[in-house]
A and B are shown apart, each in its own frame.
Chain A
Amino acid sequence: MMMYIFRWSVLSLAGFVMWVTTGCTRWIDVKPPSASSQEALTYSLPGNERVPLVIDTFHTTKNGAPQHPSPEAERRILNSVQVTSLFSTLIPLGRKSDVLGKKIVSARITVDEAIEPHSGLSALKGMLIGGSMFLLSPFIKLEYDYAARVGLELERWDGYIKRYESRSSGTVHYKLFGATPVMIDELKRHVTEACLADLTGQLVRDAKFYMGSSASVPATGIRTVTVRANRPPTTSLSLSIVPIASASPQ
């Protein structure tokens, strides 16, 4: 009799532990943006060849609706660009610097997020779980999808424009007792990081394009200044191009 009680106690305990642990599981699947993102993310540019990168515009949308861009998202993108060591300085949106010179790269960033929380299905599954007195909770999987597209348009000082784009998506699969707001943040972070890793990989492949010596400052800008300036000839045109003398064209 004692053996019988002991056996069933052990089995019940094991079943309960399995039920709880299975009911608390969650995992994240992230689809890699492309197969070509495995390259090295840094490129050794000589210091005097690096030019500043200035964020010109930053647009974000969520499920197609325009959003106010968050400083955190911009910082994350800038951090990713920073590790490539392609640029001498990174100037965030709205910041001005007087010591940039003429050779700068302007960046226009777009981040489009798509969120699919499967709310209707989750509500239905919730009713099933509740109706089963939570016994089905280890067996019913809930899902939350997130996709991101990061676009980066870089305009070189001579007006030449290059566009980069990366897409990634992911799904967090979870059981009811494993749900937490942190898992959504984790999913978004993983997807965004995958996007940025791919994007910086594309950027590094074009490293030579952003070398200070890759192009000269166009003369058209100088002519414009000359036409507009209604000043005596003492405001010499040659002075305006002095700051970029170190990055002279080859």
Chain B
Amino acid sequence: MMRSARQTLIRTFTALTVGAWMTTASAQAMDISPAITVGTQEFGLTAGYLFSHRLTDLHTTKQHGPALMPSWMMTITDPIGDSWYRGQVSLGAEMVYLEFREPLLTHGVGFTPRIKYMFVALGRLRPYAEFAGGPFWTDLGGRIEEQANQFNFVLTGGVGVSWFFTSQASFNIGYRFHHISNAGTAFPNLGLNASLPFGGFSFFF
């Protein structure tokens, strides 16, 4: 059942990649200038892979696995600043789904408010920095030495770059540092840390 769902996800992501690539080819001749203003909404689908970091000797779990992160965002400012740091702030929310393949095949689901600062000085190539955090449930909790319970929080921050292949759609790649812990609501609470390189698409309207 889970394998079927995973295959569906992989197929969907592949179809989106191919579709975007084909769209890119036809968009090369156009003058792409993303018109993102206050109130512009963004729907995104991002996928990546989680690689664990054991930051202390007490960390033993080598959790890793794929991640899927659909998101919604709203641009809340016009471009701020006049130099290279000129950019816009977006606020939104993200669902995060993680499948831990090690040490046990387990899953995690979270909901995180997300804030993003997107640099606009480079035209259609727009780097960004983002931060998100919120509640996270995983059945890995309680079955490993680092985390005692299933209800946790996830904090993530990272950088990425969006390349607009049309004025309303972009391809995104980036990196996030990923932290899971329970805010001291149960012990042990060593936290699970990981790197999450990702890629995906965003649609603006």
Contact = CB atoms under 8 A, between A and B. Distances in A.
A133 B93 CA distance: 9
B76 A122 contact: yes
Interface residues of B, number: 18
B80 A144 contact: no
B113 A179 contact: no
A208 to B, nearest CB: 45
A126 B91 contact: yes
Interface string B106-118: 0000000111000
Interface of B: 37-41, 74, 76-80, 89, 91, 93, 113-115, 134
A180 interface: yes
Contacts of B115: 126-127, 130
Contacts of A134: 93, 113
Interface in A49-77: none
A215 interface: no
A119 B80 contact: yes
Contact of B77 (A122, A181, A183): A122
Nearest to A144: B38
B134 A176 contact: no
A92 interface: no
A130 B89 contact: no
A117 B93 contact: no
Contacts of B134: 133
Contacts of B91: 126-127, 129-130, 176
A120 interface: yes
